[in-house]
Amino acid sequence: MTGRPRRSASPKAPAAGPVLLDWRDSSHWSSQPKPCRYCGHATQLRDSRRKPAHKSCAEDALAQQAADAADAYRKDTL
């Protein structure tokens, strides 16, 4: 039986919206849980500065910082 060759899936465009942090590297993991620097709940995750932080909390903080910077920029240009 001969079939048609499968088409490869077309590459997907990057999703619009917030950029997610890539914490797949083992340097973002600690065996000792500590309070998240943003919400205070225990986490074994560490940010790039080795501070305890949930990935979602860090992403929310980055989004807020970007929004604050954009707002400050708009105020300065008026």
> For 18-60, how does the pLDDT look when each residue is reduced to its tens digit (9 = 90+)?
557 888 999 999 999 999 999 999 999 999 899 999 999 999 9
Q: Which domain holds residue 65?
A: 26-76
Judge whether residue 14 has pLDDT over 60: no
Q: How many domains does the chain have?
A: 1
Is residue 20 one of the residues assigned to a domain? no
Is residue 52 one of the residues assigned to a domain? yes
- With a CB cutoff of 8 Å and minimum separation 6, the contacts of 61 are 38
Q: Which residue has the higher pLDDT, 7 or 44?
A: 44
* pLDDT band at residue 13 under the 50/70/90 scheme: very low
